[in-house]
Copies of this chain bind each other. A is one copy, B any other.
């Protein structure tokens, strides 16, 4: 199986969050997951929910702050071994073009 997720971890602070978000991303390196950060979070792909939840918790804890806000959205396809990238490819095939704007 492949489990794909989006993880967003952010300290609730009026300061720039980039340094803290970087700590969350760095924490993922200790786990057997693939990941890629986009402007609204980090897409994570793992072979097991154990690995996914452990990585997400580590990322959450790596961020310092009195208050930390985290969102984890999971798409757990239990009977298929589809890479995360295939989800975008299938949409682009249906669209007949890249799934992004020219803007």
Residues of A whose CB lies within 8 Å of any CB of B are 4-6, 8, 10, 12-14, 16, 18-19, 21-22, 25-26, 28-29, 33-43, 45, 49-50, 53, 56-57, 60-61, 65-79, 84-85, 87-88, 90-95, 99-101, 103
Contact = CB atoms under 8 A, between A and B. Distances in A.
The 10 A-B pairs of least Cβ separation, nearest first, read A37-B99, A22-B94, A18-B90, A39-B84, A6-B40, A34-B103, A36-B100, A70-B74, A53-B57, A39-B87
Contacts of A13: 12, 14
**A interface, over-half SS:** mixed
A94 B57 contact: no
Contacts of A35: 100-101
Contact of A101 (B28, B61, B72): B28
A40 to B, nearest CB: 4
Contacts of A74: 60, 68-72
